[in-house]
A and B are shown apart, each in its own frame.
Chain A
Amino acid sequence: MDYIPNTDADRDEMLKVVGVKSVDDLFADVPEKLRFPKLDLPPALTEMEMLQELQALGDENDDLNHIACFLGAGAYNHFVPKVVDSIISRGEFYTAYTPYQPEISQGTLQAHFEYQSMIAALTGMEVSNVSHYDGATAVAEAVIQALQVGRGKRLKVVLSPTLNPQYREVVHTYIQGMGVTTVGEDAPLGDLDALASLAEKDVACVIVQNPDFLGRLYTRGEMQALADKVHAAGALFVVSVDPVSLGLFTPPGHYGADVACGEGQPLGNTLSFGGPYVGFYAMKLDDVRKSAGRIVGETVDVDGKRGYVLTLSTREQHIRRDKASSNICSNQALNALAAAIHMAAMGKHGLRKAAELSYHKAHYAAALIDKLEGYAVKSDGLFFKEFIIQCPQPVAEINQRLLDEWGILGGYDLGSDYPELDGHMLICVTEMNNRAEIEALAEALAGMSAIATEDLEGQDESNDVEEVA
Chain B
Amino acid sequence: MAYKFDAKARYARSHEWVRVEGDVAVVGVSDYAQHLLSDIVYVELPEVGDTLTKGESMGTVESVKAAEDAYAPVSGEVIEVNTELEDNPEWVNEDPYNKAWLIKVTLSDESELADLMDATTYEAYVQEEEEKGGH
Contacts and interface: CB of A to CB of B under 8 A. Distances in A.
Interface in A396-454: none
Contacts of B80: none
Interface string A122-159: 00000000000000000000000000000100000000
Given A321-B67, A323-B60, A151 B42 contact: no
Interface string B76-101: 00000000000000000000000000
Nearest to A148: B44
B62 A315 contact: yes
Give the interface SS of chain B, mostly helix, strand, loop or mixed: strand
A320 interface: yes
A319 B44 contact: no
Nearest to B64: A319
A289 interface: yes
Nearest to A151: B47
B62 A319 contact: yes
B77 to A, nearest CB: 16
Contacts of A321: 66-67
A319 B47 contact: no
Contacts of B62: 289, 315, 319-320
B35 to A, nearest CB: 17
Contacts of A315: 62, 67
A297 to B, nearest CB: 12
Contacts of A151: 47
B65 interface: yes
Contacts of A320: 62, 67
A319 B66 CA distance: 4
Interface of A: 151, 289, 315, 319-321, 323
Given A319-B65, A321-B66, 5 more contacts: A289-B62, A319-B67, A320-B62, A320-B67, A323-B67
17 contacts: A151-B47, A289-B44, A289-B62, A315-B62, A315-B67, A319-B62, A319-B63, A319-B64, A319-B65, A319-B66, A319-B67, A320-B62, A320-B67, A321-B67, A323-B60, A323-B67, A323-B69
